Amino acid sequence: MPSYARVFRTPGFVPAFLALSVSTWGDYIARIAVAFVVRERTGSDLAMAATFAASLLPSILGRSLLSPLADRIPYKHVLVGSDVVRAIFVVAIMAAVGQGSPVVVLLALLFALELFGGPAGASVQILLTDLFADRRAFLRARGITALAEQVNQAIGLAVGGIIVTVLSVRGALLVDLATFLVSAALFAVAVKARPVSGEPSPGIVGFFRDIAAGVRYLAHHRVLVSLLALSLIAMWGVVAPEAVAIPYVLGHDLPPWLGGVLMAAPVSGAVAGLVVVGRWQPEVASSRMIGMALLMPIPLVLSAVVPPTLGWLPTVWLMWFLSGVLQAFVLPLQATFALVVAADLRGRVIGLAGAASMTASALGFLLAGSLSERLAPRTALAICAMLCLGGIALLAATWPTRSVDLAVDEAFNDRTIKGER
Protein backbone atom coordinates (compact mmCIF):
# COMPACT_ATOMS: atom_id res chain seq x y z
CA MET A 1 0.00 0.00 0.00
CA PRO A 2 1.21 3.57 -0.70
CA SER A 3 2.57 5.39 2.35
CA TYR A 4 0.72 8.17 4.17
CA ALA A 5 3.56 10.50 3.21
CA ARG A 6 2.93 9.79 -0.47
CA VAL A 7 -0.76 10.59 -0.06
CA PHE A 8 -0.04 13.91 1.65
CA ARG A 9 2.56 14.78 -1.03
CA THR A 10 -0.06 14.43 -3.76
CA PRO A 11 -0.67 17.92 -5.21
CA GLY A 12 -4.00 19.31 -4.06
CA PHE A 13 -4.67 16.80 -1.27
CA VAL A 14 -3.48 18.80 1.75
CA PRO A 15 -5.50 21.96 0.91
CA ALA A 16 -8.57 19.82 0.20
CA PHE A 17 -8.03 17.91 3.45
CA LEU A 18 -7.77 21.16 5.43
CA ALA A 19 -10.80 22.64 3.69
CA LEU A 20 -12.89 19.58 4.51
CA SER A 21 -11.81 19.76 8.14
CA VAL A 22 -12.66 23.41 8.74
CA SER A 23 -15.92 23.05 6.80
CA THR A 24 -16.94 20.17 9.07
CA TRP A 25 -16.15 22.28 12.12
CA GLY A 26 -18.35 24.99 10.67
CA ASP A 27 -21.29 22.63 10.29
CA TYR A 28 -21.17 21.59 13.94
CA ILE A 29 -20.52 25.08 15.29
CA ALA A 30 -23.62 26.29 13.42
CA ARG A 31 -25.76 23.51 14.89
CA ILE A 32 -24.53 24.15 18.42
CA ALA A 33 -24.95 27.92 18.18
CA VAL A 34 -28.54 27.65 16.93
CA ALA A 35 -29.29 24.95 19.52
CA PHE A 36 -28.08 27.26 22.30
CA VAL A 37 -30.33 30.07 21.06
CA VAL A 38 -33.31 27.71 20.82
CA ARG A 39 -32.66 26.49 24.38
CA GLU A 40 -32.38 30.06 25.62
CA ARG A 41 -35.58 31.17 23.88
CA THR A 42 -37.75 28.15 24.74
CA GLY A 43 -36.22 26.81 27.95
CA SER A 44 -36.81 23.34 26.51
CA ASP A 45 -34.19 20.59 26.39
CA LEU A 46 -36.44 18.77 23.94
CA ALA A 47 -36.46 21.75 21.58
CA MET A 48 -32.68 21.94 21.81
CA ALA A 49 -32.37 18.25 20.98
CA ALA A 50 -34.88 18.67 18.15
CA THR A 51 -32.58 21.30 16.62
CA PHE A 52 -29.85 18.69 16.19
CA ALA A 53 -32.36 16.14 14.90
CA ALA A 54 -33.79 18.66 12.43
CA SER A 55 -30.35 19.12 10.87
CA LEU A 56 -30.49 15.53 9.55
CA LEU A 57 -33.46 16.11 7.23
CA PRO A 58 -31.88 18.84 5.06
CA SER A 59 -28.69 16.78 4.88
CA ILE A 60 -30.73 13.88 3.49
CA LEU A 61 -32.56 16.12 1.02
CA GLY A 62 -29.37 17.93 0.05
CA ARG A 63 -27.56 14.69 -0.74
CA SER A 64 -30.44 13.17 -2.69
CA LEU A 65 -31.74 16.24 -4.57
CA LEU A 66 -28.65 18.43 -4.99
CA SER A 67 -25.83 15.90 -5.38
CA PRO A 68 -26.56 15.59 -9.14
CA LEU A 69 -25.03 19.08 -9.38
CA ALA A 70 -21.67 17.31 -9.01
CA ASP A 71 -22.36 15.58 -12.34
CA ARG A 72 -23.41 18.83 -14.05
CA ILE A 73 -20.97 21.42 -12.69
CA PRO A 74 -17.17 21.03 -12.19
CA TYR A 75 -16.60 19.88 -8.63
CA LYS A 76 -14.36 22.87 -7.87
CA HIS A 77 -17.28 25.22 -8.48
CA VAL A 78 -19.64 23.04 -6.44
CA LEU A 79 -17.25 22.94 -3.47
CA VAL A 80 -16.53 26.67 -3.52
CA GLY A 81 -20.17 27.55 -4.14
CA SER A 82 -21.41 25.30 -1.34
CA ASP A 83 -19.13 26.97 1.20
CA VAL A 84 -19.96 30.50 -0.01
CA VAL A 85 -23.71 29.84 0.13
CA ARG A 86 -23.40 28.39 3.62
CA ALA A 87 -21.38 31.43 4.69
CA ILE A 88 -24.23 33.64 3.46
CA PHE A 89 -26.70 31.67 5.57
CA VAL A 90 -24.44 32.06 8.61
CA VAL A 91 -24.65 35.84 8.12
CA ALA A 92 -28.43 35.50 7.87
CA ILE A 93 -28.52 33.49 11.11
CA MET A 94 -26.41 36.17 12.83
CA ALA A 95 -28.88 38.83 11.68
CA ALA A 96 -31.85 36.75 12.83
CA VAL A 97 -30.30 36.19 16.26
CA GLY A 98 -29.51 39.90 16.61
CA GLN A 99 -33.07 40.90 15.69
CA GLY A 100 -34.65 38.36 18.03
CA SER A 101 -36.36 36.52 15.17
CA PRO A 102 -38.68 33.61 16.06
CA VAL A 103 -37.19 30.18 16.60
CA VAL A 104 -38.88 28.89 13.45
CA VAL A 105 -36.87 31.41 11.39
CA LEU A 106 -33.60 30.23 12.94
CA LEU A 107 -34.49 26.61 12.24
CA ALA A 108 -35.41 27.47 8.64
CA LEU A 109 -32.05 29.17 8.11
CA LEU A 110 -30.20 26.22 9.67
CA PHE A 111 -32.22 23.92 7.40
CA ALA A 112 -31.06 25.87 4.34
CA LEU A 113 -27.44 25.92 5.53
CA GLU A 114 -27.42 22.13 5.94
CA LEU A 115 -29.27 21.61 2.65
CA PHE A 116 -26.54 23.30 0.60
CA GLY A 117 -23.88 21.13 2.18
CA GLY A 118 -25.35 18.13 0.33
CA PRO A 119 -23.62 18.53 -3.07
CA ALA A 120 -20.22 18.98 -1.43
CA GLY A 121 -20.09 15.41 -0.13
CA ALA A 122 -20.40 13.85 -3.58
CA SER A 123 -18.04 16.42 -5.10
CA VAL A 124 -15.34 15.55 -2.58
CA GLN A 125 -15.52 11.88 -3.57
CA ILE A 126 -15.15 12.81 -7.25
CA LEU A 127 -12.23 15.11 -6.36
CA LEU A 128 -10.43 12.27 -4.55
CA THR A 129 -10.91 9.85 -7.45
CA ASP A 130 -9.36 12.46 -9.76
CA LEU A 131 -6.45 13.27 -7.43
CA PHE A 132 -5.43 9.62 -7.05
CA ALA A 133 -5.10 7.76 -10.33
CA ASP A 134 -3.41 5.02 -8.27
CA ARG A 135 -6.53 3.48 -6.74
CA ARG A 136 -4.59 2.00 -3.83
CA ALA A 137 -3.47 5.51 -2.96
CA PHE A 138 -7.14 6.49 -3.25
CA LEU A 139 -8.03 3.84 -0.65
CA ARG A 140 -5.33 5.18 1.67
CA ALA A 141 -6.58 8.76 1.12
CA ARG A 142 -10.17 7.64 1.74
CA GLY A 143 -9.02 6.10 5.01
CA ILE A 144 -7.36 9.35 6.04
CA THR A 145 -10.46 11.41 5.26
CA ALA A 146 -12.74 8.90 7.03
CA LEU A 147 -10.51 9.03 10.09
CA ALA A 148 -10.43 12.82 9.96
CA GLU A 149 -14.21 12.93 9.66
CA GLN A 150 -14.58 11.07 12.96
CA VAL A 151 -12.03 13.31 14.68
CA ASN A 152 -13.43 16.51 13.18
CA GLN A 153 -16.94 15.68 14.37
CA ALA A 154 -15.59 15.37 17.90
CA ILE A 155 -13.58 18.60 17.51
CA GLY A 156 -16.57 20.45 16.07
CA LEU A 157 -18.83 19.40 18.94
CA ALA A 158 -16.26 20.06 21.67
CA VAL A 159 -14.87 23.31 20.28
CA GLY A 160 -18.33 24.51 19.27
CA GLY A 161 -19.60 24.22 22.83
CA ILE A 162 -16.51 25.98 24.21
CA ILE A 163 -16.70 28.78 21.64
CA VAL A 164 -20.38 29.44 22.36
CA THR A 165 -19.67 29.50 26.10
CA VAL A 166 -16.60 31.74 25.89
CA LEU A 167 -17.42 34.03 22.95
CA SER A 168 -21.25 34.01 23.02
CA VAL A 169 -23.48 32.87 20.18
CA ARG A 170 -22.51 35.83 17.99
CA GLY A 171 -18.81 35.11 18.48
CA ALA A 172 -19.37 31.45 17.65
CA LEU A 173 -21.22 32.39 14.47
CA LEU A 174 -18.35 34.69 13.45
CA VAL A 175 -15.95 31.76 13.86
CA ASP A 176 -18.41 29.62 11.89
CA LEU A 177 -18.45 32.21 9.10
CA ALA A 178 -14.65 32.19 9.02
CA THR A 179 -14.51 28.39 8.67
CA PHE A 180 -16.68 28.41 5.55
CA LEU A 181 -14.79 31.33 3.98
CA VAL A 182 -11.41 29.68 4.66
CA SER A 183 -12.69 26.41 3.20
CA ALA A 184 -13.99 28.19 0.09
CA ALA A 185 -10.66 29.99 -0.36
CA LEU A 186 -8.67 26.75 -0.07
CA PHE A 187 -10.84 24.99 -2.65
CA ALA A 188 -10.70 28.04 -4.95
CA VAL A 189 -6.90 28.27 -4.87
CA ALA A 190 -5.82 24.63 -4.69
CA VAL A 191 -8.36 22.67 -6.73
CA LYS A 192 -8.23 22.66 -10.52
CA ALA A 193 -11.46 23.10 -12.44
CA ARG A 194 -12.00 20.00 -14.56
CA PRO A 195 -14.90 19.40 -16.93
CA VAL A 196 -17.64 17.02 -15.84
CA SER A 197 -17.79 13.50 -17.23
CA GLY A 198 -20.58 12.76 -19.67
CA GLU A 199 -23.36 14.99 -20.96
CA PRO A 200 -25.98 15.92 -18.33
CA SER A 201 -29.57 16.37 -19.48
CA PRO A 202 -30.45 20.05 -20.00
CA GLY A 203 -32.95 22.04 -17.93
CA ILE A 204 -34.89 21.39 -14.73
CA VAL A 205 -36.68 18.41 -16.24
CA GLY A 206 -33.31 17.02 -17.28
CA PHE A 207 -32.01 17.54 -13.75
CA PHE A 208 -34.70 15.30 -12.28
CA ARG A 209 -34.31 12.90 -15.20
CA ASP A 210 -30.67 12.57 -14.18
CA ILE A 211 -31.69 11.75 -10.61
CA ALA A 212 -34.03 9.06 -11.93
CA ALA A 213 -31.21 7.69 -14.09
CA GLY A 214 -29.02 7.47 -10.99
CA VAL A 215 -31.73 5.55 -9.13
CA ARG A 216 -32.14 3.10 -12.03
CA TYR A 217 -28.40 2.61 -12.37
CA LEU A 218 -28.02 1.90 -8.67
CA ALA A 219 -31.05 -0.41 -8.49
CA HIS A 220 -29.81 -2.58 -11.38
CA HIS A 221 -26.18 -2.89 -10.26
CA ARG A 222 -25.86 -5.99 -8.10
CA VAL A 223 -22.54 -5.08 -6.51
CA LEU A 224 -23.63 -1.54 -5.62
CA VAL A 225 -26.97 -2.77 -4.24
CA SER A 226 -25.19 -5.33 -2.07
CA LEU A 227 -22.68 -2.80 -0.73
CA LEU A 228 -25.41 -0.26 -0.02
CA ALA A 229 -27.64 -2.86 1.66
CA LEU A 230 -24.78 -3.88 3.95
CA SER A 231 -24.17 -0.25 4.86
CA LEU A 232 -27.84 0.42 5.63
CA ILE A 233 -28.40 -2.71 7.72
CA ALA A 234 -25.19 -2.18 9.68
CA MET A 235 -26.22 1.38 10.48
CA TRP A 236 -28.74 0.13 13.05
CA GLY A 237 -25.94 -1.44 15.05
CA VAL A 238 -23.67 1.56 14.55
CA VAL A 239 -26.04 4.19 15.97
CA ALA A 240 -27.70 2.14 18.73
CA PRO A 241 -24.93 2.63 21.35
CA GLU A 242 -24.93 6.39 20.81
CA ALA A 243 -28.72 6.50 21.11
CA VAL A 244 -28.89 4.61 24.43
CA ALA A 245 -25.65 5.75 26.12
CA ILE A 246 -27.12 8.62 28.13
CA PRO A 247 -30.37 6.75 29.08
CA TYR A 248 -28.17 3.78 30.06
CA VAL A 249 -26.22 5.94 32.52
CA LEU A 250 -29.14 7.96 33.88
CA GLY A 251 -31.41 4.93 34.17
CA HIS A 252 -28.97 3.16 36.47
CA ASP A 253 -28.07 6.14 38.70
CA LEU A 254 -24.56 6.46 37.33
CA PRO A 255 -22.76 9.84 37.08
CA PRO A 256 -24.26 11.72 34.08
CA TRP A 257 -20.84 12.56 32.61
CA LEU A 258 -20.28 8.86 31.99
CA GLY A 259 -22.90 9.07 29.22
CA GLY A 260 -20.43 11.02 27.11
CA VAL A 261 -17.67 8.55 27.95
CA LEU A 262 -19.85 5.66 26.75
CA MET A 263 -20.80 7.53 23.58
CA ALA A 264 -17.11 7.97 22.84
CA ALA A 265 -16.41 4.22 23.02
CA PRO A 266 -17.62 3.16 19.54
CA VAL A 267 -16.26 6.36 17.98
CA SER A 268 -12.84 5.69 19.52
CA GLY A 269 -13.03 2.10 18.33
CA ALA A 270 -13.90 3.23 14.81
CA VAL A 271 -10.83 5.48 14.76
CA ALA A 272 -8.60 2.59 15.85
CA GLY A 273 -10.23 0.26 13.33
CA LEU A 274 -9.76 2.71 10.47
CA VAL A 275 -6.05 2.98 11.27
CA VAL A 276 -5.69 -0.81 11.06
CA VAL A 277 -7.94 -1.46 8.05
CA GLY A 278 -6.37 1.45 6.19
CA ARG A 279 -3.11 -0.54 6.08
CA TRP A 280 -4.67 -3.58 4.39
CA GLN A 281 -4.50 -4.23 0.68
CA PRO A 282 -7.89 -3.66 -1.01
CA GLU A 283 -8.35 -7.35 -1.79
CA VAL A 284 -7.70 -8.29 1.85
CA ALA A 285 -9.99 -5.58 3.22
CA SER A 286 -12.77 -6.60 0.84
CA SER A 287 -12.48 -10.29 1.72
CA ARG A 288 -12.87 -9.45 5.43
CA MET A 289 -15.68 -6.93 4.96
CA ILE A 290 -18.72 -9.20 5.43
CA GLY A 291 -17.04 -11.08 8.30
CA MET A 292 -16.32 -7.87 10.20
CA ALA A 293 -19.88 -6.71 9.61
CA LEU A 294 -21.24 -9.98 11.03
CA LEU A 295 -19.06 -9.67 14.14
CA MET A 296 -19.78 -5.97 14.72
CA PRO A 297 -23.16 -6.31 16.58
CA ILE A 298 -22.08 -9.26 18.76
CA PRO A 299 -20.19 -7.24 21.44
CA LEU A 300 -23.28 -5.01 21.73
CA VAL A 301 -25.52 -8.02 22.35
CA LEU A 302 -23.09 -9.38 24.95
CA SER A 303 -22.84 -6.01 26.70
CA ALA A 304 -26.57 -6.20 27.44
CA VAL A 305 -26.00 -9.06 29.90
CA VAL A 306 -23.27 -7.19 31.80
CA PRO A 307 -24.55 -5.79 35.14
CA PRO A 308 -25.25 -2.04 34.70
CA THR A 309 -23.10 -0.96 37.63
CA LEU A 310 -20.17 1.42 37.94
CA GLY A 311 -17.74 -1.44 38.50
CA TRP A 312 -18.78 -3.19 35.30
CA LEU A 313 -18.92 -0.04 33.17
CA PRO A 314 -15.32 -0.42 31.87
CA THR A 315 -16.32 -3.84 30.52
CA VAL A 316 -19.29 -2.31 28.70
CA TRP A 317 -17.02 0.44 27.36
CA LEU A 318 -14.54 -2.11 26.00
CA MET A 319 -17.33 -4.09 24.32
CA TRP A 320 -18.66 -0.96 22.63
CA PHE A 321 -15.10 -0.02 21.67
CA LEU A 322 -14.61 -3.44 20.04
CA SER A 323 -17.86 -3.00 18.12
CA GLY A 324 -16.51 0.35 16.91
CA VAL A 325 -13.27 -1.27 15.74
CA LEU A 326 -15.28 -3.73 13.65
CA GLN A 327 -17.22 -0.83 12.08
CA ALA A 328 -14.08 -0.09 10.05
CA PHE A 329 -15.36 -2.44 7.34
CA VAL A 330 -17.10 0.66 5.96
CA LEU A 331 -13.75 1.96 4.64
CA PRO A 332 -13.30 -0.66 1.88
CA LEU A 333 -17.06 -0.64 1.35
CA GLN A 334 -17.24 3.10 0.67
CA ALA A 335 -14.03 3.20 -1.37
CA THR A 336 -15.16 0.31 -3.58
CA PHE A 337 -18.60 1.87 -3.98
CA ALA A 338 -17.12 5.18 -5.15
CA LEU A 339 -14.83 3.54 -7.72
CA VAL A 340 -17.36 1.06 -9.09
CA VAL A 341 -19.88 3.78 -9.99
CA ALA A 342 -19.52 5.04 -13.57
CA ALA A 343 -17.64 8.36 -13.62
CA ASP A 344 -20.49 10.33 -15.22
CA LEU A 345 -22.95 9.11 -12.54
CA ARG A 346 -20.78 9.40 -9.43
CA GLY A 347 -22.29 12.59 -8.07
CA ARG A 348 -25.91 11.50 -8.05
CA VAL A 349 -25.32 7.84 -7.10
CA ILE A 350 -22.96 8.67 -4.21
CA GLY A 351 -25.41 11.35 -3.10
CA LEU A 352 -28.36 8.94 -3.18
CA ALA A 353 -26.37 6.37 -1.20
CA GLY A 354 -25.40 9.02 1.35
CA ALA A 355 -29.02 10.10 1.73
CA ALA A 356 -30.11 6.49 2.23
CA SER A 357 -27.39 6.00 4.85
CA MET A 358 -28.43 9.10 6.78
CA THR A 359 -32.07 7.98 6.64
CA ALA A 360 -31.13 4.57 8.04
CA SER A 361 -29.13 6.33 10.75
CA ALA A 362 -32.08 8.52 11.73
CA LEU A 363 -34.45 5.54 11.80
CA GLY A 364 -31.94 3.62 13.91
CA PHE A 365 -31.80 6.47 16.42
CA LEU A 366 -35.60 6.62 16.56
CA LEU A 367 -35.95 2.86 17.03
CA ALA A 368 -33.29 2.68 19.75
CA GLY A 369 -34.69 5.74 21.51
CA SER A 370 -38.27 4.47 21.35
CA LEU A 371 -37.33 1.03 22.68
CA SER A 372 -35.20 2.63 25.38
CA GLU A 373 -38.22 4.54 26.70
CA ARG A 374 -40.37 1.41 26.85
CA LEU A 375 -37.72 -1.10 27.94
CA ALA A 376 -34.39 -0.94 29.73
CA PRO A 377 -31.75 0.86 27.60
CA ARG A 378 -29.53 -2.23 27.50
CA THR A 379 -32.50 -4.30 26.33
CA ALA A 380 -33.13 -1.76 23.57
CA LEU A 381 -29.47 -2.01 22.57
CA ALA A 382 -29.64 -5.80 22.46
CA ILE A 383 -32.76 -5.76 20.27
CA CYS A 384 -31.23 -3.29 17.79
CA ALA A 385 -27.98 -5.26 17.69
CA MET A 386 -29.79 -8.56 17.12
CA LEU A 387 -31.90 -7.04 14.33
CA CYS A 388 -28.67 -5.77 12.77
CA LEU A 389 -27.00 -9.17 13.14
CA GLY A 390 -30.00 -11.00 11.66
CA GLY A 391 -30.17 -8.66 8.68
CA ILE A 392 -26.45 -8.96 7.94
CA ALA A 393 -26.64 -12.75 8.29
CA LEU A 394 -29.43 -12.88 5.69
CA LEU A 395 -27.42 -10.63 3.39
CA ALA A 396 -24.29 -12.75 3.90
CA ALA A 397 -26.19 -15.83 2.75
CA THR A 398 -26.71 -14.23 -0.67
CA TRP A 399 -23.53 -12.11 -0.77
CA PRO A 400 -22.18 -11.92 -4.36
CA THR A 401 -18.61 -12.75 -3.37
CA ARG A 402 -17.34 -13.37 -6.90
CA SER A 403 -18.90 -10.18 -8.29
CA VAL A 404 -17.57 -8.07 -5.42
CA ASP A 405 -14.08 -9.59 -5.76
CA LEU A 406 -14.11 -8.87 -9.50
CA ALA A 407 -15.26 -5.30 -8.92
CA VAL A 408 -12.52 -4.74 -6.33
CA ASP A 409 -9.89 -6.19 -8.67
CA GLU A 410 -11.01 -3.98 -11.55
CA ALA A 411 -11.37 -0.87 -9.40
CA PHE A 412 -8.06 -1.00 -7.55
CA ASN A 413 -5.98 -2.30 -10.43
CA ASP A 414 -7.08 0.64 -12.58
CA ARG A 415 -9.09 -1.28 -15.14
CA THR A 416 -12.40 -0.17 -16.58
CA ILE A 417 -15.32 -1.13 -14.40
CA LYS A 418 -17.88 -3.05 -16.36
CA GLY A 419 -20.01 -3.96 -13.36
CA GLU A 420 -22.71 -6.54 -13.19
CA ARG A 421 -26.12 -5.40 -14.33
The string over 187-197, giving b where at least 16 C-beta atoms fall within 10 Å of a residue's C-beta and e elsewhere, is bbebbeeeebe
**DSSP letter (8 states) at residue 74:** -
Report CA torsion sign: 175, 176, 181, 182.
positive
Per-residue confidence (pLDDT) for residue 58, from 0 to 100: 75
Angstrom distance (rounded) from CA 180 to CA 31 = 14
pLDDT digits (tens, 9 = 90+) for 77-95: 889 999 999 999 999 999 9
Residue 64 has a CB neighbour count (10 Å cut-off) of 22
Q: 314 burial class (0-12, 13-18, 19+ CB within 10 angstroms)?
A: exposed
Among 85-99, 122-136, 168-182, 405-419, the minimum mean pLDDT is found in 405-419
Average pLDDT over residues 388-401: 94
Binned at pLDDT 50, 70 and 90, residue 181 comes out as very high
pLDDT digits (tens, 9 = 90+) for 192-208: 877 766 666 666 777 77
| pLDDT over threshold 80, residue 288 | yes
**DSSP letter (8 states) at residue 398:** T
Residues 6+ apart with CB under 8 A from 230: 289, 290, 293, 333, 392, 395
pLDDT digits (tens, 9 = 90+) for 249-272: 877 777 766 776 787 788 888 888
Binned at pLDDT 50, 70 and 90, residue 336 comes out as confident
DSSP-assigned states of every residue in 2-55: --HHHHHHSTTHHHHHHHHHHHHHHHHHHHHHHHHHHHHHH--HHHHHHHHHHT
Per-residue confidence (pLDDT) for residue 359, from 0 to 100: 84
Per-residue confidence (pLDDT) for residue 184, from 0 to 100: 93
Angstrom distance (rounded) from CA 75 to CA 127 = 7
Q: Taking the CA of residue 214 as centre, how many other CA atoms within 13 Å lie in the half-sphere pointing to its CB? A: 31
Which domains are seen in the chain, by residue range?
1-191 (1.20.1250.20), 204-414 (1.20.1250.20)
Q: Contact at 8 Å (CB) between 303 and 237?
A: no
| pLDDT over threshold 90, residue 331 | no
Per-residue confidence (pLDDT) for residue 200, from 0 to 100: 62
Q: Contact at 8 Å (CB) between 128 and 142?
A: yes
Residues 6+ apart with CB under 8 A from 216: none
**What is the pTM assigned to this prediction?**
0.74
Percent of the chain that is helix, strand, coil (3-state, to 5): 85, 0, 15
Q: Higher model confidence: residue 70 or residue 325?
A: 325
Among 44-58, 98-112, 190-204, the minimum mean pLDDT is found in 44-58
Average pLDDT of the chain is: 83
Q: Higher model confidence: residue 151 or residue 54?
A: 151
pLDDT digits (tens, 9 = 90+) for 116-156: 887 887 788 888 888 887 878 888 888 888 888 777 776 77
| pLDDT over threshold 90, residue 290 | yes
Average pLDDT over residues 375-397: 92
Binned at pLDDT 50, 70 and 90, residue 53 comes out as low
Per-residue confidence (pLDDT) for residue 226, from 0 to 100: 94
Among 38-52, 73-87, 181-195, the minimum mean pLDDT is found in 38-52
Could you tell me the maximum CA-CA distance found in the chain, to the nearest angstrom? 64
Percentage, residues of the chain above pLDDT 90: 22
Per-residue confidence (pLDDT) for residue 421, from 0 to 100: 35
| pLDDT over threshold 90, residue 394 | yes
Percentage, residues of the chain above pLDDT 70: 90
Binned at pLDDT 50, 70 and 90, residue 11 comes out as confident
